Amino acid sequence: MSDRKLQVVPLGGLGEFGMHMMAFRYGDDIIVIDAGMMFPEDELLGVDIVTPDLTWLKENREHVRALLLTHGHEDHIGAVAFFLEEFNVPVYGTPFTLSLVERRLEEYSLDFEPELKPVHPKVMITVGPFRVEFIHVTHSIVACVAMAITTPVGVIIHTGDFKVDPTPTDNVLFDLHTLAEYGKRGVLLLLSDSTNADRPGYSDSERAVRPRLEDIFNRSDSRLFVSCFSSSIHRMQQILDLSNEFGRKVALVGRSMISVTEIAHRHGLLDIPDGILMRPQDIMNTKPNKVTVLISGTQGEPMSALSRAAVDNHKQVSINKGDTVVLSSRIIPGNEKTIFRMIDHLSKRGADVMYGNMNPPLHVSGHGSMEELRLVLNLVRPRYFIPVHGEYRQMAKHARLAEHLRHVGLEETFILETGDVLEIDKLGARRAGRVTVGRVCIDSGGSADVVGDMVIRDRRVLSEDGIVLPVIAINKHSGRVEATPELVSRGFALEDDPDFMRAAKESVQRTLENSSDEEKMDYGVMKEKIRGDLKRYINKHADRRPLIMPVILEI
């Protein structure tokens, strides 16, 4: 072993869900694995996404050599654009993952052409002192890889997100053989996905959802609306295959659904039967029992295609009595209110809504459960182990799963949190302090604002442009607006201009007039519409960005 030290530096994603970013440093060379984002908690007002703080990398800017991506989920690639704004380095990933990155980069204007380098499983690349082999793993999105990183002090295995699916729909199996080969030769450090470390047994195969979907297709005699994550290419393939078997045409509704489908088909990862696709504008004119609609909005996002259709505010889709709506996804914690509100609207329209836990299942996890995690541990048999990708309780459970390996060479398990540094040299591994970490909050304007204490951020926003509260009283039973909207403002520069405030109030009134009664009965949708329209009006006519917090009184 060399006298030099290997540093393992988690910059996001440990002790939290999302925002995955891990750095490895040896001497004067740093490689980074993944650059993910997470969605903000409710208290982060005016924030669209949250990304890792890159301060430590900026302090070592001249040493950053490359960014390597495990797969294309937003919690692993959502911050690539912000990373590339700071570091013009090569980005390695599978062709499908890089295509998803390119789609994200179109929304940002980098002043250089990023160097995106496609790689495939079993390919080996060299970056400085690091030699990296990409290993195919199964997950809920296609084209995922783990990485075996050979360093001067030993081999590191980083699994990325995975489950061990014995029957994947594309028949491309998890490459356990390569993992086992590395295990036989000796692995210094394993970093492994802990998301389902508290779930006993095995995670179901993706094929486990087919019996439930097949039953739904058999029983449905009207339009069939299926909503799943747009990245769930395996799930979409099953919907396309079943629609073809049952003589249904398929319409794709929702920007992300259309975009990801095009990318997957281009890369040969999604087989679309000839003649099966139909235009969204033809949905309502086609015989109902001959239509399947793949629609985005499974988490009840206020302006998503399914949420708009639920309140009859979609220009191409209307959900009617007798239609079946299938939510083939998990309910992400924190989204319960918006999802169940959307389901209530769909139910009021007379739709049969299918969601939640069923047997056979409507949705299966993309992360390995306890027995799969044990399998990977047993194959790799590392000298040191770091559970990653999960909240602290899951990482602690994962650490306990590895205890039996102490008899076959495991020296120590480290439960790190974001910012902790692990140092490894010929004398062994040890904690070596912390680096600067944190969160960068990105608003809808695309500008990043580093935030420590959210109270300080809110005070800064209020001190600059103030706050505007549109107050609207709506009858929750009829959706009727019971009184003229009022605007309450504090610290807003134009609050003493009666003409401007009157025009702003009229802007809110127009939003209400252009909304259906059903929309007005959904305060989540109305808050978003009022906030967006009023924000655009004030920004256009006053060049200000006050904090806008609609208040809807349900009476």
**CB within 8 Å of 388: residues ≥ 6 apart:** 10, 13, 14, 20, 22, 158, 191, 192, 193, 194, 395
10 Å CB burial of residue 452 (0-12, 13-18, 19+) is exposed
The SS3 of residue 344 is helix
C-alpha 384/C-alpha 190 separation (Å) is 6
Decide if 206 contacts 358 (C-beta within 8 A).
Answer: no
C-alpha 147/C-alpha 156 separation (Å) is 8
C-alpha 223/C-alpha 315 separation (Å) is 17
C-alpha 30/C-alpha 21 separation (Å) is 13
Closest by Cα among 462, 464, 463, 484 to 473: 484
Catalytic residue set: 193, 367
Annotate 427-449 with b (16+ C-beta within 10 A) or e (fewer): eebeeeeebebbbbbbbeeeebe
Angle at the Cα of 390 from the Cα atoms of 387 and 392, rounded to 5 degrees: 80
Decide if 339 contacts 300 (C-beta within 8 A).
Answer: yes
What separation, in Å, do the N-terminal and C-terminal C-alpha atoms of the chain show?
72
